[in-house]
Amino acid sequence: MKINFKLNEKNISVDAPPMKRLLDVLREDLGLTGSKEGCGEGECGACSIMLDKQLVNSCLVPIAQCEGASILTIEGLGTEENLHPIQQAFLECGGAQCGICTPGMVMASFDLLKKNSNPTVSQIQTGLAGNLCRCTGYVKIIDSVTKAAETFK
Amino acid sequence: MTMQKQTFSSPIGNSVQRKEGPKKVTGRSKYIDDIEFKNCLHGTTIRSTIPRGKIKQINFAQDIPWHEFTVVTAKDIPGQNHVALITTDQPFLADTDINHAEEPILLLAHQDKILLERARQAITIDYETLPPVLSIPEAVEAQTIIWGKDNILKSYHLEKGNIDSIWSKADFIIEDTYETGAQEHVYIETNGMVALANKQDGVTIWGSMQCPYYVQKALIPLFNFTEDKIRIIQTETGGGFGGKEEYPSMLAGHAALLAWKSGKVVKMIYDRAEDMACTTKRHPSRTHHKTAVNKDGRILGLDIQFIIDGGAYATLSSVVLSRGTIHAAGPYNIDHVRIDAKAVATNSVPYGAFRGFGAPQSIFALERHLDQIARKLNLSAEEIRRRNFIRDGQKTATGQLINEGVDMESLLDRALKHTHYKQKQRQFLDDNISNTKIKKGIGLATFMHGSGFTGSGEKYLASKVGIQLDRDAKIKVLSASTEIGQGTNTIFSQIAADALNTSTEIIEIFTPDTKYVPNSGPTVASRTTMVVGKLVQSAALGIRHTLQKEGYLKPTHSEVEFRQACLNYVKNHGELTVMAEYQQPPGIHWNDQTYQGDAYGSYAWAVYVAEIQIDTTTYETKVTNFTALQEVGRVINPILAQGQIEGGVAQGIGYALYEKVNLKDGRMINANMTNYIIPTSADLPHIEVLFEEVPYAHGPQGAKGIGELPMDGPAPAILNAIAMATGLELKSIPMLPEDLMKAFYEN
Ligand code: FES
Ligand code: FES
């Protein structure tokens, strides 16, 4: 099945079985391996991406649902040479350790800050509760989001 | 104005940014499953569904094109069918005997993942079942023998003074038993390996791992190859915590066997369910304490029986047991100590390395026991500890003379003051009288954790590190120590840059690849910064001295001068590599037979304080505040060090309150993130991290180990706080709401 959508600001079209997970299409068909699979069942958030301005777990989205959609992945947010302020904050505050949760965490932070540009610590805690990190205890992630919010202001 | 020479402030003690950070925050880091291997096959594993028995027959259903598949059983193994580690009891693939559920029996590979999964489900196995041993008591009882002569994988006996002489002199003898459960690592990146294997090239492995040379050691006998024909390359690793210490050898072996038989590259990536159910977990434990105390709170003697469940094979249980044994008596000065320790075999999936390595288990028991003793004696939790702390010039349970200039009492005072401990305790007790719904508590734990391998371990390892000034005049660190999130790359560049008096940007870390890097030992035991970091420092100093001796560099230099010196040297002499090998600091002695001597080169010391509240309708316990104060020698990178402590504390909180491995007939039945709960950001309190820095003479720039320490303190501190809040002397973890409810009803 041919599916057309917008990915990181570019129009693209893929040919894939309708029930193939968006995560697999991104990783296997399109070579965008920034989104990770931590659980494959909607629990960990490592595969978080923005789909039509909504934060979703791409492991739960069949590609058929993406027809005409607009998708933003970690690859579209910033590059090593041109970091997005959230990425810059994660780098400075130690928000990434092993880094496997980081792309999803950054996307979730992006979604959070878009909805609330000045979140309290407890709003950050709730806002990121769908994204698991086993390395940081979340302290430095919360610092990163707080710092990024300051930059946004 | 005079021109000032550009000088460097040392990078030590600064929060230099994570070396591989830009790649990680942009999603550009390549973990094993992110790397494209063209035309590779995918591999999968058929596992036993029973805990103990014999394989009678393997059945292949009709409707699968089996000729398209690569099928590997024990019969296909070209060399020896055991995972070489400490002993050789564990096979790569079960041949006839099944010793635990989820034991690998057969491997399958195919290009099409969907077909592969269909085929996996189309294989069934007939067994002759045998009665399993599934708990510590059953293993000890030894009605059924499943390992060796007596189900005992390893035992230690440690004795200081004469415990039996003391019972009659004690005012009180206090006894109890404590239990801890298994814990799953839940690194967010599951285990994964890719292999290439054939006669000409030998075996090449890429994958997620902590210890490339362990994998090499395991694959040598599997293929009967020499070590130069087994090449292991670590790819970016998404967390380890001990879970990628020994298990990667198994998975690498499986991938290699499939690659060998198929002649193709084979990729094996576990999904979460398989990773949780089939790989190692923290050893469950059971500790019995019998303690002789004076009425003034002085502990006269500790008699400890410490048992851990090792699961079906020996794996690393002997060393986990060793660390747990040595830490069982804590940071206290006690004249008479006897510790009897055993690792027993059960028909469970083998337990393995997990941050803390046996110490969290025995420390939980001791720290809970001390609180019980304090309450019986009408002393405060802090007072009983204060009266027994070990001080410089006194000896630990193994007879090690402590001489680190660290004072536990002042650490305790600082922690009490900082947390307003006394005030809060009074206030919570008051609140608890008026508030029947919410009960609050505060508790503490005081402990120490040895850095590096136990006893003579480091001497036998004889780790090596190289620093290379390469043809492009770049400085490279060559070591097998892996970056698994804890910051190895960054710490090593800081240490090397400091030794070379240059900036961290010009230091590169070579990928851990056994073809190019020397064996700096495994990335475990909080040894990387302290032990391997010291070698990085020596080797870097070696480079600097050579450049100076050959006249390229003056005793003081600017960065520009340093770069120029490197360029000039390389132009005239070509590349330069300086190796450093571990030398045991003088005066360290250890006796493996008596378990007496200097167990560790140094210890990290800590006081942790937990504040909790319990909702008495839901029985949910929430940690509302956590303070972690520790002495870890010189802190090389504050943000990374804090991150290690915060992450460890979070795992400790999970260990105490959330994480329960549910086993049924030896199988984990909650092998998913929905039913095995690790803490989310909404579950955790702010974790405040405080350091005390007493430089350690033999660590690089005074640093000691840090990674495991934070796993030890949270569980006892939290359970001590629950005891304060409820008056219940709880003796086991994990303490989930249903467990707490049960405890309430039973009392
Ligand atoms: S992989 Fe999608 S939520 Fe875990
Ligand atoms: S940084 Fe490792 S899981 Fe979050």
Residue B373 sits at φ, ψ, to 5 deg, of -60, -45
> B26–A34: do the CB atoms touch at under 8 Å?
yes
Q: How confident is the model at residue B593 (pLDDT cuts 50, 70, 90)?
A: confident
**Does residue B115 surpass a pLDDT of 50?**
yes
Residue B472 sits at φ, ψ, to 5 deg, of -90, 15
In total, how many domains does chain A have? 2
Dist. CA B14–CA A45, nearest whole Å: 32
Cα(A37) to ligand 1 centroid in Å equals: 5
Counting ligands in written order, the one closest to the CA of A98 is 2
Say if ligand 2 is within 6 A of residue A144 CB.
no
What is the C-alpha radius of gyration for chain A, rounded to an integer number of angstroms? 15
**Chain B residues touching residue A82 (CB < 8 angstroms):** none
Evaluate whether A104 touches A50 at the Cβ level (below 8 Å).
no
Q: How confident is the model at residue A153 (pLDDT cuts 50, 70, 90)?
A: low
Counting ligands in written order, the one closest to the CA of A101 is 2
Mean pLDDT for the stretch of residues B73-99: 97
Helix, strand, coil fractions of chain B, as percent rounded to 5: 35, 25, 40
**What's the ipTM?**
0.99
**CATH (residue range B458-581):** 3.30.365.10
Mean pLDDT for the stretch of residues A118-133: 97
Evaluate whether A141 touches A105 at the Cβ level (below 8 Å).
yes
Answer yes or no: do A32 and A54 share one domain: yes
Task: Say whether B732 sits in a helix, a strand or coil.
Answer: strand
Cα(B141) to ligand 2 centroid in Å equals: 42
Answer yes or no: do A112 and A92 share one domain: yes
- The DSSP string of B531-589 is IIHHHHHHHHHHHHHHHHHTTSS-SS--HHHHHHHHHHHHHHH--EEEEEE--PPTT--
Q: How confident is the model at residue B8 (pLDDT cuts 50, 70, 90)?
A: low
> B26–A99: do the CB atoms touch at under 8 Å?
no
Q: How confident is the model at residue B1 (pLDDT cuts 50, 70, 90)?
A: very low
Quote the pLDDT of residue B4.
40
Q: DSSP H helical segments within B75-124, as ranges?
A: 113-121
Cα(A30) to ligand 1 centroid in Å equals: 18
Other residues' Cβ atoms within 10 Å of the Cβ of residue B232: 28
Closest Cα of chain B to A137: distance in Å?
A: 4
Q: To the nearest whole number, what is the mean pLDDT of chain B? A: 96
Evaluate whether B248 touches B215 at the Cβ level (below 8 Å).
yes
Dist. CA B679–CA A135, nearest whole Å: 11
Quote the pLDDT of residue B720.
98
pLDDT digits (tens, 9 = 90+) for B121-154: 999 999 999 999 999 999 999 999 999 999 999 9
Dist. CA B636–CA B44, nearest whole Å: 42
**Chain A residues touching residue B31 (CB < 8 angstroms):** 33, 36, 100
Best probe of the A interface among B20, B681, B709, by most A CBs < 10 A, is: B681
**Does residue B9 surpass a pLDDT of 80?**
no
Quote the pLDDT of residue B385.
98
Other residues' Cβ atoms within 10 Å of the Cβ of residue B456: 16
Answer yes or no: do A105 and A70 share one domain: no
Other residues' Cβ atoms within 10 Å of the Cβ of residue A81: 7
pLDDT digits (tens, 9 = 90+) for B436-463: 999 999 999 999 999 988 888 899 899 9
Q: Where are the domains of chain B?
A: 39-130+201-262, 285-454+593-746, 458-581
Dist. CA B268–CA B69, nearest whole Å: 15
Answer yes or no: do A53 and A90 share one domain: no
Choosing from A39, A73, A100, A132 the residue with most ligand 1 atoms within 8 A of its CB, the one to mutate for a pocket test is A39
Mean pLDDT for the stretch of residues B473-496: 96
The residues pairing with A48 across neighbouring beta strands, listed in sequence order, are: A57
Dist. CA B736–CA B677, nearest whole Å: 10
Pick the atom of ligand 2 nearest to A97's CA: 1
Say if ligand 1 is within 6 A of residue A103 CB.
no
**Chain B residues touching residue A143 (CB < 8 angstroms):** none
B151: left (phi over 0), alpha (psi -120 to 50) or beta: left
> A132–B678: do the CB atoms touch at under 8 Å?
yes
Best probe of the B interface among A100, A101, A120, A123, by most B CBs < 10 A, is: A100
Q: Whose CA is nearest to atom 4 of ligand 2?
A: A133
Dist. CA B736–CA B725, nearest whole Å: 16
Q: How far apart are the first and last CA of chain A?
A: 44
Task: Say whether B371 sits in a helix, a strand or coil.
Answer: helix
Which residue in A27, A40, A137 is closest to B650 by CB distance? A137
Domain that holds residue A50: 2-76
Least confident of B207-211, B581-585, B655-659: B581-585
Q: Describe the strand order of the beta sheet including B123-129 as a list of residue ranges.
A: B97-98, B53-60, B123-129
Quote the pLDDT of residue B3.
39
**Chain B residues touching residue A124 (CB < 8 angstroms):** 681
Q: How confident is the model at residue B2 (pLDDT cuts 50, 70, 90)?
A: very low
Give Cα B209 distance to the centre of its chain: 13
Cα(A137) to ligand 2 centroid in Å equals: 9
Choosing from A44, A49, A74, A102 the residue with most ligand 1 atoms within 8 A of its CB, the one to mutate for a pocket test is A44
**Does residue B585 surpass a pLDDT of 90?**
no
> A121–B673: do the CB atoms touch at under 8 Å?
no
Mean pLDDT for the stretch of residues A86-110: 98
Secondary structure letter of residue A28 according to DSSP: I
Which residue in B22, B271, B687 is closest to A91 by CB distance? B22
> B487–A97: do the CB atoms touch at under 8 Å?
yes
Q: Is B298 on the interface with A (CB under 8 A)?
A: no
Dist. CA B336–CA B48, nearest whole Å: 47
Closest residue by Cα to residue B155 from B280, B284, B302, B306: B306
Pick the atom of ligand 2 nearest to A135's CA: 2
Which residue in A87, A134, A138 is closest to B25 by CB distance? A87
Mean pLDDT for the stretch of residues A45-58: 98
Dist. CA B676–CA B652, nearest whole Å: 15
Answer yes or no: do A112 and A67 share one domain: no
Partner A, chain B 539-598, Cβ-Cβ below 8 Å: none
Pick the CATH number of B39-130+201-262 from 3.40.50.300, 3.40.50.720, 3.90.1170.50, 1.10.630.10: 3.90.1170.50
Best probe of the A interface among B26, B112, B191, by most A CBs < 10 A, is: B26
Choosing from A47, A74, A105, A131 the residue with most ligand 1 atoms within 8 A of its CB, the one to mutate for a pocket test is A47
Q: Looking at A11, A44, A76, which one is the last position of a domain?
A: A76
Choosing from B188, B190, B486 the residue with most ligand 2 atoms within 8 A of its CB, the one to mutate for a pocket test is B188
Say if ligand 1 is within 6 A of residue A55 CB.
no
* Residue at token pair 């803390």: B356
Which pair of tokens denotes residue B522? 């495994």
pLDDT digits (tens, 9 = 90+) for B43-56: 999 999 999 999 99
Task: Say whether B456 sits in a helix, a strand or coil.
Answer: coil
Answer yes or no: do A68 and A96 share one domain: no
Answer yes or no: do A52 and A116 share one domain: no
B335 exposed, middle or buried (CB, 10 Å; 0-12, 13-18, 19+)? middle
Helical (H) or strand (E) element with B46: strand B41-47
Q: Could you tell me which chain A residue has the CA closest to the CA of B638?
A: A94
Which pair of tokens denotes residue B387? 């009266």
Quote the pLDDT of residue B747.
83
CATH code of the domain containing A137: 1.10.150.120
Which pair of tokens denotes residue B270? 């576990």
Cα(B100) to ligand 1 centroid in Å equals: 29
Dist. CA A107–CA A118, nearest whole Å: 17
Fold of B285-454+593-746: Aldehyde Oxidoreductase; domain 4 (3.30.365)
Closest Cα of chain B to A119: distance in Å?
A: 14
Cα(A131) to ligand 1 centroid in Å equals: 9
Secondary structure letter of residue B166 according to DSSP: T
pLDDT digits (tens, 9 = 90+) for B632-660: 999 999 999 999 999 999 999 999 999 99
Q: How far apart are the first and last CA of chain B?
A: 80
Tell me whether domains B285-454+593-746 and B458-581 share a fold.
yes
What is the C-alpha radius of gyration for chain B, rounded to an integer number of angstroms? 27
Dist. CA B419–CA B688, nearest whole Å: 10
Which pair of tokens denotes residue B1? 């104005």
Which residue in A35, A94, A101 is closest to B643 by CB distance? A94
Q: Could you tell me which chain B residue has the CA closest to the CA of A102?
A: B25
Answer yes or no: do A7 and A71 share one domain: yes
What's the pTM? Answer: 0.97
CATH code of the domain containing A18: 3.10.20.30
pLDDT digits (tens, 9 = 90+) for B310-338: 999 999 999 999 999 999 999 999 999 99
